[in-house]
Copies of this chain bind each other. A is one copy, B any other.
Amino acid sequence: VRRHAERAAYDRETVNAILDAAVICHLGVLALGSPLVIPTSFVRIGNRIYLHGARANRSLALAGGSPVCVTVSILDGLVLARSAFGHSMNYRAVVVLGKATIVTDAAEKLAALVAFVDHVIPGRSAEVRPPSDSELASTTVLSVNLDEASAKIRTGPPIDTQADAGVSAWAGEVPMHTEFGEAVAAPFIVSDTSEPASIARLRRERA
């Protein structure tokens, strides 16, 4: 009997594909000796992931120069077995362990801030005003290299247990994905309120 439909992966292509498909990550830092986990946006550029926040952000301040864990997970479906115990989920996850470095190089910081926007909405940065010097100064950007990144993936149906062959319950998978609703223009947009090209692209590429 196959006991696990989960597999671990350490190759960079698998790790990168999951990081690039996720919208947010969960950053784990140490706060007074205890773990603190916060959801935040991120982007991968080459062999590093970047995180950012306001300079006043406590979690980012704690992370600078310290060991952190950045975890990304994408839920792909519910897995229903004939037993309560056999229930599971299909998912793709990446765990990155490493030391967070505060990005001080102005060009690297600007590139990261632009990439944050394009990570979520490909092509969006070309439609908007780029960051100003004061916006750059008020933002903390951290990076973590991907040397200690690993992926874990579960796919497929529930594990069949012969002991449950006589149970009449349905078993199988219910796929899940993220759906984007109709765009709502901000109240201060009075001219062209139709959604921009980047959102149409988002619907095609992330759906």
Q: Given A37-B28, A113-B84, A128-B167, A172 and B183 touching (CB < 8 A)? A: yes
Check A108 for interface membership: any CB of B closer than 8 A.
no
Do residues A37 and B69 form an inter-chain contact, with CB atoms below 8 A?
A: yes
Evaluate whether A26 and B35 lie within 8 angstroms (CB atoms) in the complex, with A83-B128, A84-B130 already known: no
Q: Are A185 and B172 in contact (CB under 8 A)?
A: yes
A106, CB-defined interface residue at 8 Å: no
Question: Does A170 contact B157, Cβ atoms closer than 8 Å?
Answer: no
Question: Which residues on B sit within 8 Å (CB–CB) of A107?
Answer: none
Proximity string of chain A (120-150) to chain B, C-beta cutoff 8 Å, 1 when within and 0 when not: 1100110111111001000100000000000
Against B, the Cβ 8 Å flags (1 = close, 0 = not) of A194-206 are 1110010010000
Interface 1/0 per residue, A152-181 and B, CB below 8 Å: 000001101000110111111111111111
Q: A29 vs B95: C-alpha distance in the bound complex, in angstroms?
A: 13
18 residue pairs A–B, Cβ–Cβ below 8 Å? A24-B75, A24-B89, A30-B33, A36-B97, A37-B95, A75-B178, A77-B181, A84-B124, A84-B125, A85-B113, A85-B135, A87-B124, A128-B169, A171-B186, A172-B184, A172-B193, A176-B181, A177-B178
Interface residues of A (CB under 8 A from B): 23-24, 26-30, 33-39, 41, 67-71, 73, 75, 77-78, 80-85, 87, 89, 91, 93, 95, 97, 113-114, 116-117, 120-121, 124-125, 127-132, 135, 139, 157-158, 160, 164-165, 167-189, 191-196, 199, 202
Give 7 closest A-B pairs by Cβ, nearest first.
A175-B181, A28-B35, A39-B73, A28-B37, A34-B67, A179-B179, A157-B186
For the A-B complex with A35-B36, A41-B89, A84-B117 known, give 13 more contacts whose Cβ atoms are closer than 8 Å: A23-B89, A24-B73, A26-B28, A26-B39, A78-B120, A78-B202, A81-B128, A157-B186, A158-B186, A170-B185, A170-B193, A172-B185, A174-B184
